[in-house]
Amino acid sequence: MTCLDLTALERSVAIKDQRLAVVELMEATLDRIEAVNGALNAIVSLRDRDDLMGEARAVQDAPRKGWLHGIPIAIKDLAHARGLPTSMGSPLFAGQVANYDEPMVARLRDAGAIVIGKTNVPEFGLGSHTFNPVHGTTVNPYDHGRTAGGSSGGAAVALATGMLSVADGSDMMGSLRNPAGWNNVYGLRPTWGTVPSDPVGDVFMHQLATLGPMARTPADLAALLDTMTGPLAGQPLSVAAEATLPMLSQPPGTLRIGWLGDWGGALPFEEGILPLSEAALRQIGGLGHQISDVAAPFDAARMWNSWTDLRSFSIASGLYPLFADAETRDRLKTSAQWEIARGMTLTGTELNTASLARSDWYHCCMDLFREIDVLVLPSAQCWPFEVGMEHVKEIAGVHMDTYHRWMQVVIPASLVGLPVVNIPIGFGDNGLPAGLQLIGPRGAEGRLLQLAQQWHDLTDWPNARRPVI
């Protein structure tokens, strides 16, 4: 066993007990990146090796700041990290270096993490396929001809291959869950407001996306979540949250788990995904939990219309200045142009209709959670697709009418800001990994992580089937 086989928490204890030197961990990390990243393209904007080794030596002799003391981490290339470029995958921002840390990044540094570079993303994080004209394409470590998912694709691949032990991600439409599922690792979309984002622009209206942690174990996931969380003065809708890591020492008790399946036939799935998901559910039931089928609780079309309107409005609000300038508009990817153009034409009445549908779905969820503790859906409706495809255009004979329709399975949680933990559930006959979404009511991160820990103790999929690198 090498230091790269240790979990993040194990590395933390080993460094604290002086059984592992920070410089040893940094050297091993950079060696692993050098060995495997060229074929995968997960980590971008990697800092100079000599500079990183110098920082590791300085941290080695410095007072311990927190549990991440001396642990290398790379930041998703949508977030600002002081001294590193924030390209967002767009040529419009390539080479622009951040002069400050976003709150989440500052919290990681305050806990002792050493930021070594960035992880790759789709342009502006749009689309669950990590490719862009600045850094290129990130490929799946289990099949280099397949996508890694996205938008946290670089982070997921770096975790799966041992280049990182923990990573940050963000999630609007499955951007933590989809790549975690497709790379055999864990990802957590927290309750909206638990992990505050950078308080720039509007801080009230656009409650769709959130930051969150990714890891190879639920315990590391909990530890990173606890580091990221906490109210932020500039974010009025940020909330306090109970620490989750201490909860993992206790089992969750018998949980009532509801399987939503294909949402009453509304969601098409590629062959093999539902059977694999149902097999995992039977294993979860074997842990002492009560599994039941849940009929489609809400009109799928109404939910989809609400989501696409609110999403387009949110994206347009952020990117419209680039769209309004004819010189920069043509340099935006097609999906970004489509979202902005659509969002700018929405009327107040249409937005109110979308918001009312969201409110009705939230009230429906509250009724569901009186009878069910955890709702379950697959993490994606298809297997990782070929890297040459921009997006999926058909699933099980059903035409996908937008660039993101194939990820409809993630919006029940996204639309109303519910917490979700992706757990890896094994592999299909095609050798590709898949995941399940464990969805709970607001503030249920601890319970979901307890269930994920039970599952991990039973299966440990990230170690049971590592990618061949």
Q: Which residues are catalytic?
A: 76, 151, 175
**Nearest-angstrom CA–CA distance, 83 and 364:** 46
Beta strand 43-44 pairing with 114-119: antiparallel
Task: Say if residues 311 and 419 touch (Cβ distance below 8 Å).
Answer: no
Closest CA relative to residue 411, chosen from 278, 265, 267, 271: 267
Look-up of token digits 């920069």: 328
Which residues have CB under 8 Å from 356's CB, separation 6+?
Answer: none
Strands 143-147 and 166-171: unpaired
How far lies 282's CA from each of 152, 288, 291, in Å? 29, 10, 8
Question: Exposure of 349 by Cβ count < 10 A (0-12 exposed, 13-18 middle, 19+ buried)?
Answer: exposed
Alpha helices in 145-238 (DSSP H): 153-160, 177-182, 218-228
User: What's the first-to-final CA gap in the chain, in angstroms?
Assistant: 16
Report d(CA 358, CA 415) in Å as an integer: 7
Pairing type for strands 186-189 and 256-259 reads unpaired
The residues, any chain, with a CB within 8 Å of residue 364's CB and separated by 6 or more, are: 297, 298
The residue type at 443: G
**Residue 95's closest CA among 106, 107, 87?**
87
